[in-house]
Amino acid sequence: MRCPFCGHPDTQVKDSRPAEDGNAIRRRRQCPSCAARFTTFERVQLRELTVLKKSGRRVPFDREKLNRSIQLAMQKRNIEPDRIDQMISGIVRRLESTGETDVTSDRVGELVMEGLKGLDAVAYVRYASVYKDFHKVEDFREFITDEHLTASKGVSADDDE
């Protein structure tokens, strides 16, 4: 594997261990040229997925992009990283197991919403505000009411302070 720091074409694996409940292998690598260390993850990929955007564009599915969008919603939430990784792995498995190579961005968004709803209500509302394109406070209020989210489920006015 190429070093992300100096571009040296070959790096050495220093340590390997299971990750994400055995669904991935975490490898610690070191570059023999610059001595930099970094981590890689190896996962089973059942098929190459393509995301069909609303604009009609087709882009390769990017697990890291999915992770970044979920991390934004989870910002400052007290959720273990392993639970987030498990949710992301579950979403990817569900997309791959459909047998289709093309998935719509709407389907990806629905699966993220479903996962976040069971994981953290505040992150669920945050993600929904972008995914459903909220424009005013009333959009939040209506969504929270429609989804039957209450302070007892982790959504309250002072949660983000």
Q: What is the pLDDT of residues 122-139, one digit of tens each?
A: 999 999 999 999 999 999
* Range of weakest confidence among 4-18, 68-82, 136-150: 136-150
Residue 160: pLDDT above 80? no
Q: What is the pLDDT of residues 87-122, one digit of tens each?
A: 998 999 899 888 889 999 999 999 999 999 999 999
Strand-strand pairing, 102-104 and 12-19: unpaired
Spatial CA neighbour of 104 closest among 144, 42, 54, 62:
54
